Amino acid sequence: MKVYVIISLWLSVVACQAQSHSPGETKGEFGSAPNGLLYSPQTMRQLRHIVDSLHLRYKVCELRRAYRSHWQGQAHHVRLESGNIAAAAEALRHGISPEAFAMRFPAAKIERGLLVVSSQQEREQKNKKAVFTTYHTIPFDGQKEYSLEVAGVQQPPGPGQWVVEYEKKGYGGPYVEALYFPAGLTQTKLPQQYATLVQYADCLVDTTAQIYLEAAQRTGVRLQNKESASEAAFMRYVHQQTHRPTHNYNGRLSETEQEARWQAYRNWDSLRLTKVDAIAATPQFRELLRQAATDAASVGTSSDEFEEYVARYYSPRRALELKRSRRVIGGCSQDNGPRRHALGIAQLSAEAVNWETFLRAHLDIMNDRFERVSDGSYAWAARQTYLRELEELDINVPDLMLGISLRIDNPSQNHYFGTPYRVGRALTETRQPREMEQRLLTLVADSTLDTYNRVLAYYLFLNYIQHLDDKMQQQQNVAKLNKAVQTLPTYLVARATVKEPK
């Protein structure tokens, strides 16, 4: 049994490593087109045509609604894991002051001056939809993040109130954990200049569009769905005609022999399309491809290779439909299958003049918004962000990046939210670095904007700084950021101050 488990794990690793690169690839994450971009010159021309035809270069979106910030405020966090926990929970529920609590329960761990944000989520619980209110702290400089969850829709805590989580037994118990709010939580209206950015993101990233079709199937190296009979017949024919070598794991082969198999497969793959081009006009190829491409059983079960043939030799629109009918789940950190799949959707969407699907797929690549079985941080650096491709289209990229980065309590359904780490990294590619730096610093220092969004702008700028190659520019920007930090609420200034790089 142990041997079986070890072999299974080994096979998973091999499958992931096989997905992490393409044999013909020599430059960058996906290779590079002749223009040095993610997309070929032909695809970029098609995208520019879409941008022009939809007047996206000059799009101005009228503000049609008011946006609200999340409920937020200062809090102190306490946690007690020993002693009379029941009595501590009772005291907290009766509104004991933090000072009195510390005196009465000296074993409690207390951290003061935290920024807490409240949000509500709906999820399945015991086959029913349930709503939970979550209070989570925003950490600075690697500090611990705390999160408390309460069932139901909760009224925002007022001044001097506690939110208490008491676990008598079970996972992590017994313990009592609580947040104290000296001034309660508040919510504000997003100032018009920032609300306009959110509205611009909604105009550009169509909120009615989805990348994947409603019935899309989950696929991937660990979730392989059985291909249709017609697709299997077509792929057998192609592989036989092009003399595809086997590269499957065989425990009886030495490491050298196994590598030789992989090298033979890489060589075949580098010449694959040339070989397939040579047979693409034959009646048997065309008929087998037509049967497989139009077979309803192929929807949701197809593969990247098959979809490539459909796009190249049958119909790009049908290939796009097949791609949108499945979600690729990453098997491990090295598996770039989900990103490659999104790239295929973006490329085919451009060819099909489908801006909405293209932009969401490209933003997913930028934000690395994909599901994976596991994901180690060591793999993140290789996943590029590709901001330059959007700037080449002359849309208002700075407004778009800020519009998807701001957080609001009442977003449009299907509003696209960016990831601060990834967006901050992407901004290092901008053609307007000084303008972008100043805009972020202005957000951090703007007291009319809610504290949470000011801190998000701080994180955007911090991630931007960390990915700059110029050390002198890094030092200058850290000094500018620390100056802006002085305008934050007093309890956050020391936490948010950044150590200057050496």
Residue 60 clears pLDDT 80, i.e. is over it? yes
In angstroms, the CA 197 to CA 427 distance is 16
In angstroms, the CA 141 to CA 495 distance is 8
| Cβ neighbours around 448 below 10 Å, total | 12
> Encoding tokens for residue 382?
């290789």
Instruction: Determine contact, residues 216/97, Cβ cutoff 8 Å.
Output: no
DSSP 416: -
Confidence of residue 500 (pLDDT cuts 50, 70, 90): confident
pLDDT on residue 104 = 97
| pTM over cut 0.75 | yes
Per-residue model confidence as pLDDT tens digits over 122-176:
887 777 888 999 999 999 987 889 999 988 888 999 999 999 999 887 677 799 9
For residue 337, the one-letter residue type is: G
Q: Which helix (H) or strand (E) element contains residue 16?
A: helix 2-19
Confidence of residue 194 (pLDDT cuts 50, 70, 90): very high
pLDDT on residue 1 = 37
Strand order in the sheet with 161-167: 147-151, 128-137, 109-125, 71-80, 175-181, 161-167
Residue 25 clears pLDDT 50, i.e. is over it? no
Exposure string of 299-309, with b = 16+ CB inside 10 Å and e = fewer, is bbbbbeebbbb
Query: What is the β-pairing status of strands 109-125 and 71-80?
Result: antiparallel
Helices assigned H by DSSP within 314-468: 316-324, 337-351, 355-367, 388-391, 397-405, 420-426, 433-445, 451-466
For residue 267, the one-letter residue type is: N
Residue 33 clears pLDDT 90, i.e. is over it? no
pLDDT on residue 16 = 61
In angstroms, the CA 323 to CA 213 distance is 9
In angstroms, the CA 353 to CA 357 distance is 9
Give mean pLDDT, residues 232-255.
87
Residue 186 clears pLDDT 70, i.e. is over it? yes
**Residue that has been written with the tokens 């939110």 in this structure:** 163
Confidence of residue 335 (pLDDT cuts 50, 70, 90): very high
Residue 34 clears pLDDT 70, i.e. is over it? yes
The residue count of the chain comes to 502
pLDDT on residue 32 = 66
Four-residue CA torsion sign, 442, 445, 446, 450? positive
Phi and psi (nearest 5°) for 154? -105, 140
More confident: 63 or 32: 63
Give mean pLDDT, residues 399-417.
96
pLDDT on residue 502 = 66
| Cβ neighbours around 368 below 10 Å, total | 20
DSSP string, 419-458: -HHHHHHHGGG-S-HHHHHHHHHHHHH-TTS-HHHHHHHH
| Cβ neighbours around 268 below 10 Å, total | 17
Per-residue model confidence as pLDDT tens digits over 79-123:
999 999 999 999 999 999 999 999 999 999 999 999 999 998 888
More confident: 253 or 265: 265
pLDDT on residue 222 = 85
Query: What is the rounded average pLDDT for all residues in the chain?
Result: 91
Residue 3 clears pLDDT 60, i.e. is over it? no
Instruction: Determine contact, residues 208/85, Cβ cutoff 8 Å.
Output: no
Per-residue model confidence as pLDDT tens digits over 287-321:
999 999 999 999 999 999 999 999 999 999 999 99
In angstroms, the CA 492 to CA 258 distance is 56
Percentage of residues in the chain with pLDDT exceeding 90?
A: 79
Residue 22 clears pLDDT 50, i.e. is over it? no
Residue 489 clears pLDDT 70, i.e. is over it? yes
Instruction: Determine contact, residues 326/307, Cβ cutoff 8 Å.
Output: no
DSSP string, 198-246: HHHHHHHTTTT--SS-TTPEEESTTSPPPPPHHHHHHHHHHHHHHTPPP
Residue 23 clears pLDDT 90, i.e. is over it? no
pLDDT on residue 4 = 33
